[in-house]
Amino acid sequence: MTKYSKKQVVFHWLIAMMIATQFIFHDAISDAYEATLRGIEVAFNPLVAAHVFVGIAVLVLTVWRFSVRQKTGVPPYPEAESKVTKLASEIVHYGTYVLGILLPISGGAAWFGGVKAAAEAHEVMKAILMALVALHIGGALFHLFAKKNNIFKRMWF
């Protein structure tokens, strides 16, 4: 296996776009949640529904993607790279899988269950995910432009 399968590449970019959407369009649900905490009734807002729907889709696709990963495997990490960067990339990758599952669950517990601690966890985890994705993008671009190896290409079509 020299690169990720087509299916894995589609999963990667689809989930990446969906997570980006969640970060860009979160104002509506943050405002609605704040209003419900104050006991104000909120009218239907398609952006709120979209946050819930896309978030649940991220959960389903992340679990599905992980099961495909277990069956298909992953291309081996280049031998020329250090053990430290390998470990760092694994921590970031597994971290995004874990948060792709826990973020929607905490969001659901806050929105449908009214659990305040879950809303706080959702905020903390979104910050961790943001940091992991920033590191991940930095690493990917470093491999592409500085190291000029095939790491980026193997997650491309």
Q: Which residue of this chain has its Cβ atom nearest to ligand HEM in the complex?
A: 107
Nearest approach, Cβ of residue 37 and ligand HEM (Å): 9
Say if CB 107 and CB 117 are below 8 A apart: no
Q: Which residues bind ligand HEM (CB under 6 A)?
A: 12, 15-16, 19, 22-23, 26, 29-30, 33, 51-52, 55-56, 58, 69, 74, 89, 93, 96-97, 100, 103-104, 107-108, 110-111, 119, 122-123, 126, 133, 136-137, 140-141, 151-152, 154-155
Nearest approach, Cβ of residue 34 and ligand HEM (Å): 7
Nearer to ligand HEM, 10 or 108 (CB): 108
Round to whole Å and give the CA distance between 10 and 16.
10
Nearer to ligand HEM, 42 or 52 (CB): 52
> Can you count the helices (H) and strands (E) in the chain?
5, 0
Nearest approach, Cβ of residue 98 and ligand HEM (Å): 10
- Please state the φ and ψ torsions of residue 71, each to the nearest 5 degrees: -80, -45
Nearest approach, Cβ of residue 126 and ligand HEM (Å): 4
* Long-range contacts from 79-87, C-beta under 8 angstroms, 24+ separation: 80/149, 81/149, 85/139
Tokens describing residue 25: 């369009």
Tokens describing residue 103: 């973020």
